[in-house]
């Protein structure tokens, strides 16, 4: 009789211990599950950030196409109006703001108004009415540009527009950087020290609402 009672007591304790082990196993399983979910979310967030950075870099790289297209337009326009003196003749396209009723190009502005913003949507709207569409590349990046003559007074000849001019001399620093008077031919070419600076702004929009602006000064 004593032996039977002792065996029964041991069986009850063993069954109770098995229930405690199950409880701790469920707690451990819950912790592991939460850790797995956190790891998955962390990986997804990192992938999303990396993807956004890649799109941003892609739009910035595509912005160079806008600068190149603007420079090409400036060169072609200057070549087509070489007989017109850009310094004192308002008939030159560079001396008038473009767009409807203006010269040649909706994206050219003969003055720089500090009150007109390029980025906050209150000034340049980056539409066909106030900028030039370059196109959409293979990465689905769409590029536009505007050109602003660095002058305070619009729609007048350069010599009367209070402009920011390039220097008469330039430190080439070992590179071949010709001045306008070195490459321009014709009566309409600017003389040394009288080439106004132009600011080109290129705006590129791409996937995931990525937007990049690239600026360059030329003369």
pLDDT tens digit sequence for 160-218: 888 877 665 555 555 555 555 565 666 656 555 556 789 999 999 988 788 899 999 88
pLDDT level of residue 115 (50, 70, 90 thresholds): confident
Q: What are phi and psi of 71, to 5 degrees?
A: -65, -40
State the residue range of the domain holding 56.
2-218
Residue partners of 94: CB distance under 8 A and separation at least 6: 77, 78, 86, 108, 110, 149, 158, 196
> What is the rounded end-to-end Cα distance, in angstroms, of the chain?
112
Q: According to the model, what pLDDT value does residue 103 have?
A: 45
CA dist 58 and 139 (Å) reads: 8
Within 10 A of 57 (CB to CB), how many other CB atoms are there? 13
Q: What are the angstrom distances between the C-alpha of 32 and each of 26, 27, 41, 130? A: 10, 9, 14, 58
Per-residue pLDDT tens digits for 14-52: 555 556 677 777 788 888 888 888 777 776 666 666 566
Mean pLDDT of the chain: 76
Q: What is the DSSP string of 153-196?
A: SSSS-GGGS-B-BPPSS---TTS----HHHH--STTPPPTT--B
pLDDT > 90? residue 142: yes
Long-range contacts of 184-189 (CB under 8 A, 24+ apart): 184/78, 184/82, 185/82, 186/82, 186/83, 187/82, 187/83, 187/85, 188/78, 188/81, 188/82, 188/83, 188/84, 188/85, 188/86, 188/89, 188/92, 189/82, 189/86
Q: According to the model, what pLDDT value does residue 196 have?
A: 78
CA dist 128 and 198 (Å) reads: 21
78's tokens: 């200057």
The residue-averaged pLDDT of 139-158 equals: 90
pLDDT level of residue 101 (50, 70, 90 thresholds): very low
CA angle 151-157-159, nearest 5°? 70
Q: According to the model, what pLDDT value does residue 105 have?
A: 64
pLDDT level of residue 100 (50, 70, 90 thresholds): very low
In this predicted model, which residue has the larger pLDDT, 103 or 122? 122
Q: Which of 3-17, 77-91, 139-153 has the lowest mean pLDDT?
A: 3-17
In this predicted model, which residue has the larger pLDDT, 128 or 58? 128
Q: According to the model, what pLDDT value does residue 146 have?
A: 93
Q: According to the model, what pLDDT value does residue 199 have?
A: 93
Distance of CA 101 to the CA centre of its chain: 30
Q: How many domains does the chain have?
A: 1
């Amino acid at each position: 009789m004593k032996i039977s009672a002792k065996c029964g007591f041991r069986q009850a304790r063993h069954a109770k211990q098995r229930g405690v082990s199950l409880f701790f196993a469920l707690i451990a399983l819950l912790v592991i599950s939460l850790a797995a979910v956190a790891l998955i979310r962390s990986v997804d967030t990192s992938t999303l950030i990396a993807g956004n950075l890649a799109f941003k870099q892609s739009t910035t790289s595509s912005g160079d196409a806008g600068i190149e297209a603007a420079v090409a337009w400036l060169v072609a326009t200057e070549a087509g109006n070489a007989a017109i003196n850009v310094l004192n003749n308002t008939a030159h396209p560079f001396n008038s703001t473009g767009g409807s009723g203006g010269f040649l190009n909706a994206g050219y502005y003969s003055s720089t108004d500090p009150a007109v913003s390029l980025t906050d949507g209150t000034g340049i709207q980056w539409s066909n009415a106030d900028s030039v569409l370059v196109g959409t590349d293979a990465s689905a990046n769409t590029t536009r540009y505007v050109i602003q003559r660095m002058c305070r007074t619009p729609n007048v000849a350069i010599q009367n527009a209070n402009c920011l001019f390039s220097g008469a001399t330039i430190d080439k620093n070992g590179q071949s950087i010709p001045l306008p008077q070195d490459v321009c031919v014709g009566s309409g070419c600017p003389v040394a020290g009288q080439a106004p600076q132009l600011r080109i702004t290129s705006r590129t929009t791409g996937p995931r609402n990525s937007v990049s602006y690239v600026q360059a000064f030329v003369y």
